[in-house]
A and B are shown apart, each in its own frame.
Chain A
Amino acid sequence: MRVAYYSPQPPERSGIADYSALLLPALAERIDVAVVRRGARRPRRRADISLYHVGNDPVAHGWIVEALRRRPGIVVLHDFVLHHLVAGMTLGRGDGGGYLDAMQREAGAVGRMLAHGVIDELLPPLWEDRAADYPLAGEVLTSATGLIVHSGYVERLVRDSAYRGPVWRIPHPAWSPPAEIAPAALPEGRTIIGCYGHLNPAKRLPQLLEAFALLRRRVPEALLLLVGSLSPGLELDPVYDRLGLRPGEDVIRVDYVDEARLWSLLSACEVCVNLRYPTMGETSGVVVRALSLGRPLVVNDVGWFAELPDEAVVKVPVGEGEVPAITDALELLARNHELRTRMADAARSLAQGEHQLDRVAEAYVAALEEAAGGAVVQDAVLGEIARAAQETGLPANGNALSDIAERLREVGPGR
């Protein structure tokens, strides 16, 4: 069986490119995978099924959605909220009509009017702070013959969107930490709190910095390490000034780093913080790496993050009480070595358990095999049973056929 595989690939700076770089070799050990080159227009010949990795970035995923339109297939839905993707594929290409249609499809006349407001610059772009209200996942869901999701949260969202196709929930695969990790060369004798990944407003930096400023009063040796590119328009210096944090002394910021340096910096921290709100339904590769390394985590109690086990992560609420909750969590973890050790063990066993790469690859193969030939099998089974029912003379609307249908629903082939 052959799979046409559509995904951003390294060296693109994309979490999904990293994801595919990890998954593909394990998948290729088990199934014939043909990676489709970026921008390919024609459907892959001889493929039994196509697998499309779809995320919220129009640059990384626009061409993949176009391919999905031409040939429906299995979609790995890395984000449920695709507003930014759709806006990029419509407005970003001068296709205002496409955006109007997408918004109308999502929210009827009100949606269309809102879209007009955005196009006419009477309203701020919806994708900046109201994307979760208008996820615009409809087109992708319509073209998806099946979905692979990473969380129960996204599974519920797609079912609430009336998606009726098969959905497979497959955990994010975990990286194995490198055998050798270079020292991070950070100040010694400090309790390092690390925050990693592209720093955008959804990472709750103001809340984290405020919580860290409070923590510094209780744990003076605490050091906040911010690693990742900074979102345009996000100014940190004024926040540092307001909170009395000294850049380079209390807070060290490191721009985008390569994979080897990322592992160094991750292994240097005592506690990893990965706050997120609003969530687009995404997972976090950094969180999965931190689990692999056995780093205790502090996350927001939302989306996929809320589904992580309490033994491995501390969850803090969003909104009211968030800042003191972050401070308390960081202080608890900074001071309690035994707790950190327990959480580290739980984190590693999670990474080596349900997130284990081979296990994830097996789940992918199972999903793809079910999807590729499932309809043929279903037709064959139903056909044989229907013939037997007809030859037996079962009445079309009788109880006996209802019973058969119910049993079929239970065991699978009737779904």
Chain B
Amino acid sequence: MRIAVCAPQVPFVRGGAEIFSERLVDELRERDHEVELVTVPFKWYPGERVLTQAFLWRLLDLDEADGSPIDLVIATKFPSYVVRHPNKIVWLLHQFRQAYELDGTELAQFDDSAEGRALRRSVHRLDKLALGEARKLFATSTNVADRLERSTGLEAEVLPHPPQELPYRCDEYGDFILSVGRIDRAKRVELLIDALGADVSLRCVVAGDGPERNRLERLARERGLNGRATFAGRVSEQELADLYAHCLAVYYAPVDEDFGMVPYEAFLAEKPVVTTTDAGGPLEVVGDRETGIVCEPTAIAVAQAFAWLRDHPDETREWGKAGQRAAEQLTWDAAIDRLLA
């Protein structure tokens, strides 16, 4: 089949969504499909830009390319699924969250003016139309599927995807907590910094970059963490695998995250994960006292969770291995079979 995988691209930003799209293309190619990644830059502000940029996808003609038909389009996240195609499948990573559950929070985009409210409703209308057109809808997690059902009435089949390929291994249960991912407010790395403030025996390495990095580095200095928090920035795949291999456990507690590949990555390195009761998608992955610890989203609770893991090496190892067994169940073969069924 000739397949176009559609994904928006925020220039100079790379995260789980980008890794997922590229990997999907590779996996489909490995199964003898002719596959191309189609991207359009996305900027969602100010004002109506969210709609005009989404509209660019609507103008794309992906019915055929160079005289040959494109058999299937697989769209991933807003606004790539606005694309038109008679055989459109959506594997939904997330909708435009500012128009939904983030509205009215500190992460909101649309203000309370009549224009702001109408813009938000326009995104809803667009979603209903564009997602409603899809021949089949998949969501990467129950959390994403539930949000979709609540906001549009559309039902999606839950189809989690495997994490990125890395040379995963476990060399030790070391003396630092690892945080992986884009450093923005939604990922809530600040809670980990606060946890280190609450327990002077804890150390962490924060791998990743993002708009909050400078503020959090400053915060770590102000809290007097004295080098206990290391901001490693964007790291290579090998470096990331090394960090997973040597850390004690992994911190992953975003605010109502869609899915998040990090827990599965941690599991493949046999490391348990500490997450919080309000983390959303990760709660579908991390079993409390089975593959990690699910605690209240407070600095003290997070600090206590990591201290407990450090002080109970047998459980830490056991839960890490249990996570590894769970993560190994998630394969691209199974995912692509369902996707193309």
Interface residues of A, Cβ cutoff 8 Å to B? 1, 48-49, 366, 369-374, 376-377, 380-381, 384-385, 403-404, 407-408, 410-413
Contact = CB atoms under 8 A, between A and B. Distances in A.
A404 B116 contact: no
Given A377-B122, A412-B126, A403 B114 contact: no
A299 B126 CA distance: 37
B52 A411 contact: no
Given A380-B48, A381-B51, A410-B84, 8 more contacts: A1-B112, A1-B113, A376-B114, A403-B59, A407-B84, A411-B82, A412-B126, A412-B129
Contact of A377 (B84, B112, B118): B118
A373 B113 contact: yes
Nearest to B61: A403
Contact of B55 (A371, A374, A385): A385
Given A377-B122, A380-B48, A381-B48, A413 B115 contact: no
Contact of B118 (A372, A385, A403, A407): A372
B47 to A, nearest CB: 6
Interface in B126-141: 126, 129-130
Nearest to A368: B117
Contact of B114 (A1, A384, A385, A412): A1
A353 to B, nearest CB: 11
A413 B114 contact: no
Contacts of A377: 48, 51, 115, 118-119, 122
**Is chain B's binding surface mostly helix, strand, loop or mixed?**
helix
Contact of A370 (B52, B116, B125): B125
Given A381-B52, A384-B52, A369 B126 contact: no
Interface in B56-77: 58-59
Contacts of A374: 118, 121-122
A369 B117 contact: yes
Given A48-B114, A411-B58, A369 B52 contact: no
17 contacts: A48-B114, A366-B121, A369-B117, A369-B118, A369-B120, A373-B114, A374-B122, A377-B122, A380-B47, A380-B48, A381-B52, A404-B59, A407-B55, A407-B59, A408-B55, A410-B84, A412-B125
B117 A1 contact: yes
Contacts of A384: 48-49, 52
Nearest to B60: A407
Across the A-B interface, the 5 shortest Cβ-Cβ residue pairs: A373-B118, A373-B114, A369-B117, A372-B114, A380-B48
Given A373-B119, A380-B47, A49 B114 contact: yes
Contacts of B124: 366
Contacts, number: 76
Interface string B249-269: 000000000000000000000
A206 to B, nearest CB: 43
Contacts of B49: 384
Nearest to A2: B114
A376 B125 contact: no
Contacts of B58: 407, 410-411
Contact of B52 (A1, A48, A385, A410): A385
A369 B110 CA distance: 12
A376 B117 CA distance: 11
Given A411-B129, A412-B126, A369 B121 contact: yes
Contacts of B52: 381, 384-385
A33 to B, nearest CB: 14
- Among B49, B117, B120: residue with most chain A CB under 10 A: B117
B49 to A, nearest CB: 8
Interface string B20-57: 00000000000000000000000000011101101100
Contacts of A404: 59
Contacts of A366: 121, 124
Nearest to A407: B58
Instruction: Give the interface centre of B112, B114, B129 by most chain A CB atoms within 10 Å.
Output: B114
Nearest to A383: B48
Contacts of B84: 407, 410
A32 B47 CA distance: 22
A160 to B, nearest CB: 24
A40 B49 CA distance: 40
Interface centre among A49, A373, A374, A407 (most CB of B within 10 A): A373
A49 B114 CA distance: 9
Contacts of B114: 1, 48-49, 369, 372-373, 376
Interface in B289-323: none
B59 A410 contact: no
Nearest to A373: B118
Contacts of B47: 380
